[in-house]
Amino acid sequence: MQMPTRPPALPPEPTLVPSPLSPSSGVKLAIDYGPLLTFFGVNSFGDRLHPLLIRAGMAPGVKNIIVATAAFMAAIIVAVVVSRWKLGRVSPMLWFTAAVVTVFGSATLYFQDASFIKIKMTVIYLLFASVLLFGMATGRPLLKTVLGEAFPELDAHGWRKLTRNWIVFFIALAATNEVLRRQLTDDHYVAFKVWGVTAATLLFALAQTPILTRHSVERE
């Protein structure tokens, strides 16, 4: 009599033990906010660095925001390296931000003109809005590609609403930046960029909670 064949083994269930590459919240925060805090810190205390910079060959009288831009560029390169080392990958958004900072930061240093690093934020947010708008027009949930792991239960209608709101927010930030970069002093502008934009983004993200609640579906 032929013995019954043994059924194929089922794949193991996902383990709840974090892998060695699982990011800690501290590493994430350092990658996300470390370059900005470096920009703010060097701009705030740049006067104390001037003697060292002059000895290193930098012209005397250089503005703090120019020095802070150089530090910002270095810090975001470090963030890319740390992300690759600690998280095992570099997010597309970090790659994009690093590229834009490098281009506009280099122009700032070459021309010794802070207008380039100030306009960088306008360019970034308009590009973000354009990419999301293109995704909506072509039926591609590009925001879901970036945030899908954070909100796996959100339905298609919820993603459309969330995408629409972020497009409006990014355009509003770009417009605000265009006004304030012309009106504020360098120090006040850096404070706006680091603290004002960060606070506005966090508050806006929290304001999307009703959409996340109404359009979440139960996963079986």
Taking the CB of residue 4, how many other CB atoms lie within 10 A of it? 6
Mean pLDDT of the chain: 82
Radius of gyration of the chain (CA): 22
Q: How many CB atoms sit inside 10 A of residue 115's CB? A: 13
Q: Which percentage of the chain shows pLDDT scores above 70?
A: 78
* Residues 103, 121: Cα–Cα separation, whole Å: 12
Instruction: Please state, in angstroms and rounded to a whole number, the distance separating the CA atoms of residues 177 and 168.
Output: 14
Contact 87, 23 (CB under 8 A): yes
- Bridge partners (DSSP) listed for residue 32: none
Lowest mean pLDDT among 30-39, 64-73, 108-117, 136-145: 136-145
Structure confidence at residue 23 as a pLDDT band (50, 70, 90):
very low
Q: In whole angstroms, what is the distance from residue 190 CA to residue 184 CA?
A: 9
What is the identity of the amino acid at 217?
V
Q: Supply the pLDDT for residue 19.
A: 40
pTM, full prediction: 0.77
pLDDT grade for 67, boundaries at 50, 70 and 90: confident
* pLDDT tens for each residue of 162-219: 999 999 999 999 999 999 999 999 999 999 999 999 999 999 999 999 988 888 765 5
